[in-house]
Amino acid sequence: MRDEATQIGQVRRIFNQVVPVYDLLNHVLSAGQDLHWRRFTALAMRLQPGDKVLDVATGTGDLALAEADLPTRPLVVGLDLVPAMLGPAKKKIAKSGARVRLLAGDGTALPFAGETFAAVSIAFGIRNIPRRGAALAEMRRVLRPGGRVYVLEFTTPQGPWVRRIYTRYLMHLLPKVGGLISGDEESYRYLAETIREFPTPSEFRDEMKQAGLVGARSHPLTRGVAWLHVAERPLG
């Protein structure tokens, strides 16, 4: 088990280095499914006109852009620990004119007052944050009462056959292809390990409850390769 400082250092190094090929790798390694997963998440959020939304670990901004592109035109703030990852996001926003504000920051110490946002999202980011409980508690703090958290994340599928095929893909093919495109096989081995170590959907729902969120539920996507976990800040 790596200590927290080592993990954060590794996350910073990996995402600083992967920026130029990040979007391409996402599409190749998920066979184009990542676009569908983010779009599904944005639609599931049922945002209203005037809603303010926070996308934590926004990276190159694809979920933030899918949210801003909804017919209700919410105002989206995208935050990421690694400023370099926001570079491609800035370009996409400038090109599309989307209502997205970007800033660098840490998901475990959000630079916002309590009860600021109608919804908070995070896509493929929570498993890179060693103190998941602190990140979930911060999301709860900045949500308005009744507001929802949407966590899109990979989990090893539970069915025996899919699990066996997926684990082979994760531990062998993904680091090889990731290494070929990015020149850094080791980083992709690390990312594969974070997926294998991520809790099951039911364990993750317990973590959401421990962070003071209620009504936790999970929806499988693509045979349980990815899951959308949803919970809300209680009204009282």
Ligand X SMILES: C[S@@+](CC[C@H](N)C(=O)[O-])C[C@H]1O[C@@H](n2cnc3c(N)ncnc32)[C@H](O)[C@@H]1O
Verify binding: residue 82, ligand X, rule CB under 6 A. yes
Query: CB of residue 23 vs ligand X: minimum separation in angstroms?
Result: 8
Residues 95, 10: Cα–Cα separation, whole Å: 31
Total chain residues near ligand X (CB under 6 A):
22
Verify binding: residue 128, ligand X, rule CB under 6 A. yes
Element (H, E) at 121: strand 117-123
Verify binding: residue 154, ligand X, rule CB under 6 A. no
Judged by CB under 6 A, which of 129, 139, 216, 231 binds ligand X? 129
Residues 69, 75: Cα–Cα separation, whole Å: 10
Judged by CB under 6 A, which of 25, 52, 58, 148 binds ligand X? 58
Measured in degrees and rounded to the nearest 5, phi and psi for residue 200 equal -70, 165
Residues 136, 139: Cα–Cα separation, whole Å: 5
Verify binding: residue 175, ligand X, rule CB under 6 A. no
Taking a C-beta distance cutoff of 8 angstroms, is the pair 107, 83 a contact?
Answer: no
Count, residues in the chain: 236
Verify binding: residue 155, ligand X, rule CB under 6 A. no
Verify binding: residue 226, ligand X, rule CB under 6 A. no
Verify binding: residue 182, ligand X, rule CB under 6 A. no
| Integer angstrom CA distances of residue 137 from 6, 91, 102, 232 | 22, 31, 21, 11
Residues 188, 225: Cα–Cα separation, whole Å: 17
Verify binding: residue 59, ligand X, rule CB under 6 A. yes
In degrees, rounded to 5, the angle at the alpha carbon of residue 220 between the alpha carbons of residues 216 and 221 is 135
Closer residue to ligand X (CB): 125 or 147:
125
Query: CB of residue 165 vs ligand X: minimum separation in angstroms?
Result: 22
Q: Where are the alpha helices (DSSP H) in 143-219?
A: 160-168, 174-182, 185-197, 201-210
Closer residue to ligand X (CB): 66 or 208:
66
Applying CB under 6 A, which part among 122-130, 160-168, 177-185, 193-201 lies near ligand X? 122-130
Element (H, E) at 25: helix 22-29
Verify binding: residue 70, ligand X, rule CB under 6 A. no
Judged by CB under 6 A, which of 15, 117, 154, 227 binds ligand X? 15
Query: CB of residue 236 vs ligand X: minimum separation in angstroms?
Result: 29
Query: CB of residue 160 vs ligand X: minimum separation in angstroms?
Result: 27
Site of interaction with ligand X (CB under 6 A): 11, 15, 26, 56-60, 62-63, 80-82, 85, 106-108, 123-125, 128-129
